[in-house]
Each structure stands twice: as C-alpha cells, then as structure tokens.
Amino acid sequence: MIFVGAQIDCGCIHRLDIDWFCGLACHTRRQSHQCRNDVFACRIVHGFCRYGDRPVLGDAAPFIERLFGGLDRIYQVHRKIGIAVLVLILVHYFITPDFKGLSLTSGLNQLAAMFGEYAFYGFVVLLIFSLVKIIPRTKIEIPYHIWRITHRFIGVLFILVAFHQMFIKRPYDGTALLASYLNIFALIGIGSYIYTQLLPWLRTRSYEVFDVNRHEGATIISARPTGRPLKAKPGQFGFFRVNKSGLREPHPFTIAGIDDDGVVRFAIKALGDYTKALREGIAVGDSVTLEGGYGHFNHRRGGKKQIWLAGGIGITPFLAMASRLKGDEGQDIHLVYCVRDRSEAIGLETFETQAGKLQNFSFVLHDSAKDGRLDAEKIVAASAFDPGEADLWFCGPPPLRAAIEKGLKALGKTPRRVEFEQFQFR
Ligand SMILES: Cc1cc2nc3c(=O)[nH]c(=O)nc-3n(C[C@H](O)[C@H](O)[C@H](O)COP(=O)(O)OP(=O)(O)OC[C@H]3O[C@@H](n4cnc5c(N)ncnc54)[C@H](O)[C@@H]3O)c2cc1C
C-alpha cells in the first residue's frame, strides 16, 4: 500500500548539517586546499551519516514510523537513500583523498583501511542486489527471501564502516566537532541495527487459525490469540508467518479485521509462490506468528469528506476500517470497490450492512465485467459529495490510481489530498 502526503527527506536534514560543518571547517582554517579536502571528506561522511539512519528506517521505531507516515513509506525513502549511498561509496572508492591526517596508531589505521575496503566490496554487492530485482535481459527474479537474508548483512558492513571512519587517517583529530558528529551517527547506526534485530521478538504474538475460507477472490483466514493479542489499528498490516514447513517465511498482509478480543482476519490473494502455497496448505488449528501492527493507513487522520477507492485485493484496509465505523466519526465516507468480476469481491456483507446502518458511509461495487472500465466520471456521478472537496484514499494497482487522479484533474475535481498504500516494499 502507498500513502501520499507531505514527504520528509531525512537526507536533506543531513545535507544541511554536513554543509554547515564544511563551512565551519573552511572558515576556521582558511586554507583552500585543506578546505577542499574537508569538503570532500564531508561529502563522504554525508553518505555515512545517511547510512547511519538506514537500520533505523528499515525497521522503524514507532516514532520514526509516525514521522514518515508508515512503514511502507519508510521503505520507499530507505530505497532512495540506498541508491544515494551506493553512488557516494563509488565516488569515495575512485576519488581517494590523500589526507595527511592524524591517525591513532598505524596498526589501527591499517585495520581501518582494510575494513573500509571489505565494506566497500560488500556494500556494492549487497546494494546492487537490493536495487536490481530482475537480472537484466533475463526473466530471473532474485527471490525475496534471498534478498532479505543478504540485506541483513548490511548492518555488519555498517559496523566495519564505523570502525573505518573512526581510525582511518582524517584531516581532523578525534576531539574535533566533525569526529564527534560522525561517532554519534556510528553509535546511532549500530544501536539501531541491534534494535532492529531484537524488535521482531518484542512485537510478535502467537495465534491459532480457527477458520479458513477459500473464497474466489482471496483466502480468508481467521485466527485467535493464544496469549497476548496484537496491538493494531484498522488499516494497519502485520508480518504473517505460519509455523509449518514451507510457510514459515514472514510476509506482510493487511489486517483485514481485528476484534476487541484480539481475533484477526486476513484476506490473502494467491499471487505468487508463498501466497499460492498458503492457500493450499493452511488449515484450522495451525499456529501462526504475527508481528505488527505497522503502517498509518487510517482514515481518522484524514479530512471530513473522503472517497475510498479500492482495486481488487486493495480492499483489505478498507474492510478493516469500514467494519469499525460507528457513525460518530464526523467524516462522510464514500467507498468505491472496483473488482474484475463480482464473484471475487470480499466483505460485501460488511459494507452493505454498514452502508444500511450508518448515515456517514455509502458504498458502490464497481463490477468491471458488467459496468466496464472504472473512470473519474463514474466516481463523480456515484458520489454523494464533490470529490474535488474530499480526500482520496486509495489502495490497489498503481495504474488505476494514476488514471483516476488524472481523470479527476481533467474534470476540475482534483482531490484535496491523496493517501495511498503500496502492497510492495522492495
Ligand atoms: C504493507 C503491505 C500490505 C499487504 N497487504 C496484503 C493483503 O492484505 N492481501 C494480499 O493478498 N496481499 C497483501 N500484500 C502483498 C503481499 O505481501 C504479497 O502479495 C506477497 O508477499 C507475495 O508473496 P508471494 O511469495 O506469494 O509472491 P512472489 O511472486 O514470490 O512475490 C511477489 C512480490 O511480493 C513481494 N514479496 C515477496 N515475498 C515477500 C516477503 N516475504 N515480504 C515482503 N514482500 C514480499 C516482493 O516484492 C515480490 O517481488 C501486502 C503487501 C504489503 C507491503
């Protein structure tokens, strides 16, 4: 799922800090060649600092999730930072400054140089592996679970880089402001890496499956907690894993329903290896491990008028949110649920019941097989309020969102704000 809104580029914050340091270094030394070296060093450490936040971003302490607007958005920023880091380390490798700097001992300095080199090779391999999903000119896709395992080693490489920057020859000594700045980032990075390795243990809960419905549109799984229930809001997602051979790899799925007693429901479409195996293999009585809830896709953050638009399996967060509506939200909501064929629609009973009961909720099923292609005109015609004065909340295939946004704009009804969630991290 994807959200759109104010995006925060943490890279900018670091760029400002680093430029401030560069300026300070140049101003105090007033030596132009030294200054150039410092600026170069600053560019490199900029990359290092950017990397310092990576482990944090990747596994998201709750306050960082709030800052970015959800774990899925963090992953998008995280990916861009990865690309920037790759470029910077390549620059660093090919343009090595000749610092007549200060080093603690020559032994440590040599070790730092060696660690830096190993980290360089490791980073290049792992970052390319992360960024290239499909091997060019082939149809060979790097499997997600392999990528996931290799990606974890980036934390170890970060520790090598931290050592490298601490003990390599530098144009400043260990007491300089810039050294402290870098050391703080090194510690934040290492601390975050350790935290991210521990976090899943803290947010993990055990569940037992008590119902499996192999619906045409999705496999609907209901499970109850065997101990403490998961803490999650409607619209959030969790990492889902069945403790059974072949189904142990954690995958992210939206919690399509969560009750007060902790019972959760998932609606999972069989799209690839894991989801197909899950549809075949999951059974009542299976033990499931859930980690979450993550994400910020929740209508309560939105405006007073909202159009919810779901395409196919993108209905899951709306199902969770609609089932919890009480009518006192102070928000008017109109849901458009677009499916290829009515037979694949899920949760219809919930939507129809809520629409019949609540004044502030209306619902339209768009059956493309019967009603043709969904477009902006149809949304405007069916909506009880003007989409140009409403938020658009979207979950579904990105081309559908692009077409609807474009269509609404052409009609002079650009939504006030668009929130969307991406069903993809990598
Ligand atoms: C926040 C979020 C919420 C989602 N909610 C739902 C939902 O409610 N219902 C639903 O049917 N689908 C949902 N998805 C999509 C679902 O996670 C993928 O369809 C599923 O993981 C694909 O796995 P596969 O092995 O069957 O498919 P594959 O064809 O092997 O993988 C397809 C793509 O899915 C991604 N993927 C694969 N394995 C993983 C993994 N372990 N972790 C993360 N991503 C992976 C990769 O980008 C991969 O390229 C959600 C995804 C995200 C990110």
Question: Who lines ligand 1 at CB under 6 A?
Answer: 1, 72, 144, 237, 249-254, 267-269, 271-275, 313, 316, 423-426
List phi, psi (to 5°) of 310: -120, 135
For residue 421, give the ligand 1 atom closest to its CA.
1
Assign domain 203-294 to a CATH class.
mainly beta
pLDDT digits (tens, 9 = 90+) for 248-301: 999 999 999 999 999 999 999 999 999 999 999 999 999 999 998 888 888 998
Let me know the angle formed at the C-alpha of 399 by 293 and 255, rounded to the nearest 5 degrees. Answer: 15
Give the pair of three-digit tokens for residue 209.
Answer: 């499956």
Task: Specify the pairing of strand 391-395 against strand 417-421.
Answer: parallel
**Cα–ligand 1 centroid distance for 195 (angstroms):** 24
What secondary structure letter does DSSP report for 6? Answer: -
Looking at residue 205, its pLDDT comes to 95
Q: Does the structural domain 302-421 have CATH classification 3.40.50.80?
A: yes
Tell me which long-range contacts 74-81 makes (C-beta under 8 A, separation of at least 24): 75/425, 75/426, 76/2, 76/422, 77/7, 77/8, 77/9, 77/10, 78/54, 79/130, 79/131, 79/426, 80/9, 80/11, 81/10, 81/11, 81/50, 81/51, 81/53, 81/54, 81/57
Q: Specify which residues 125 forms β-bridges with.
A: none
**Cα–ligand 1 centroid distance for 207 (angstroms):** 20
Mean of all residue pLDDT scores within the chain: 82
Look at ligand 1, atom 5, and give the residue with the nearest C-alpha: 253
Closest CA to 230 of 254, 195, 197, 194: 254
Q: How far apart are CA 99 and CA 42, in angstroms?
A: 13
Q: How far apart are CA 261 and CA 281, in angstroms?
A: 26
Looking at residue 200, its pLDDT comes to 72
Q: Is the dihedral of CA 349, 275, 237, 134 positive or negative?
A: negative
Instruction: List the pLDDT tens digit at each of the 426 positions of the chain.
Output: 332 322 222 232 233 333 333 333 333 333 333 333 333 443 444 444 444 444 344 445 567 767 776 666 777 788 888 888 888 888 888 887 666 655 556 788 889 889 999 999 998 888 887 777 777 777 777 777 778 788 888 889 999 999 998 888 777 777 888 888 989 989 999 998 888 888 777 789 999 999 999 999 999 999 999 999 999 999 999 999 999 999 999 999 999 999 999 999 999 999 999 999 999 999 999 999 999 888 888 899 889 999 999 999 999 999 999 999 999 999 999 999 999 999 999 999 999 999 999 999 999 999 999 999 999 999 999 998 999 999 999 999 999 999 999 999 999 999 998 988 777 665
Look at ligand 1, atom 26, and give the residue with the nearest C-alpha: 272
Tell me which long-range contacts 188-192 makes (C-beta under 8 A, separation of at least 24): 188/52, 188/53, 188/56, 189/51, 189/52, 189/53, 189/54, 189/55, 189/56, 189/158, 189/162, 190/158, 190/159, 190/162, 192/52, 192/53, 192/55, 192/56, 192/59, 192/61
Outline where 168-272 has alpha helix (H). 177-202
List phi, psi (to 5°) of 335: -100, 130
User: How buried is 1 (Cβ within 10 angstroms: 0-12 exposed, 13-18 middle, 19+ buried)?
Assistant: buried
Question: E strands, 255-343, where?
Answer: 257-258, 264-268, 287-294, 305-311, 332-339
pTM: 0.71
Looking at residue 103, its pLDDT comes to 55
For residue 256, give the ligand 1 atom closest to its CA.
8
Helix (H/G/I), strand (E/B), else coil: 1: coil
Look at ligand 1, atom 13, and give the residue with the nearest C-alpha: 253
Pocket test for ligand 1, best of 423, 425, 426 (most atoms within 8 A of CB): 423
